[in-house]
Amino acid sequence: MTTTDLDTRPADHHLSDGDLVRRLDDELDPREAARVDAHLTGCERCHSAMTETRVHSLRVSRLLEIADPTHESAPATTEPASGAPAAHGGRLRWRSTYWHVAAAILLTAGLALGATGLRSWIGDASRAAWSLIADAADSGPGDSSVWEGGSLGSVTATFVPYGDRFAIRVTHRQASGTLRLRPGDGPSASARVEGGTGIETLLVVPDGVSILNDARSTADYEIVIPPSVTEVEIRIAAEGIHTAPAPHEGEPSMVFDLAR
């Protein structure tokens, strides 16, 4: 059917597929919508076509929702396996076949504040990962834990603020990746790039900071968070964790060693 204007179309003229979608999407003005509704009431063929369009639309919406990459589920694991932690000589080690990136986090906040100064908590599914970070921080300089590949996803850490800031030092670069920090509800954070090559991008967002790493980037990021903040959510897309010796003992910082 052509795109003949609905107002000029003969009453017995069947509706086009486009008209049906426009009605479904509430894109018609009231007069057009009334004409379409009147036609649908008396035309079995168009009524059937409308039903089919509605079914297609709902089905596509549902399947897109089910298959949405933004809420993929993690497989349940009972034993350390791919993507799950396993102890190796006092270290926690993840192995994964997914990606070529090995990335690193060191919480020197833990080193600076001691085991009691760092209180981390995350949900059951992510507790193990944060334990890795906390254990590494507690174990002191020189220790190292590796999570080879896999996604850190989103973790929430509760910590005792030390002053009003901590630094993120990225010692090696990944190909690319976004790191998000959310210091909980309410207070906002500020951030700045220290050094760097001008290709680093940092965006202060309402509830935190978003940093896009680049393989060529050499900057460190200093994040200033109000002392009232006790929780920080860290999200690193497609990154693993590799904790390394602390380069900044005595100051609360997070070190992301984003190496290929």
Partner 1 sequence: MNVGALYERYHDSLVRYLARYSGDLDLAEDAAHEAFLRLAERPPADSQGVRAWLFTVGTNLVRDAWRSGRRRSTLLQASQARPGIGTPTVGPEATLEQSETRRLVRTALDALSDRDRRVLLMREEGFKHREIGDALGIPTKSVGTVIARALKKLADHLPTDMEDRA
Residues near partner 1 (CB under 8 A) are 3, 16-22, 25, 27, 53, 56-57, 59-64, 66-77, 83, 96, 98-99, 122-123, 125-126, 129, 149-156, 175-178, 201, 203-207, 210, 212, 237-238
| Shortest distance in whole angstroms from residue 63 CB to partner 1 | 5
Amino acid in the structure at residue 173: R
- Under 8 Å between Cβ of 193 and 200: yes
> Among residues 115 and 125, whose Cβ is nearest to partner 1?
125
> Among residues 12 and 68, whose Cβ is nearest to partner 1?
68
Find the helix or strand (DSSP H, E) in which 41 lies.
Answer: helix 30-42
Given CA atoms 241, 243, 248, 251 in this order, what sign does their dihedral have? Answer: positive
> Among residues 100 and 250, whose Cβ is nearest to partner 1?
100
| Shortest distance in whole angstroms from residue 6 CB to partner 1 | 10
> Among residues 69 and 90, whose Cβ is nearest to partner 1?
69
| Shortest distance in whole angstroms from residue 250 CB to partner 1 | 29
Q: How far apart are the first and last CA of the chain?
A: 55
Query: Which pairs count as long-range contacts for 6-9, CB under 8 Å and 24+ apart, including other chains?
Result: 6/32, 6/35, 6/36, 7/31, 7/32, 7/35
| Shortest distance in whole angstroms from residue 37 CB to partner 1 | 16
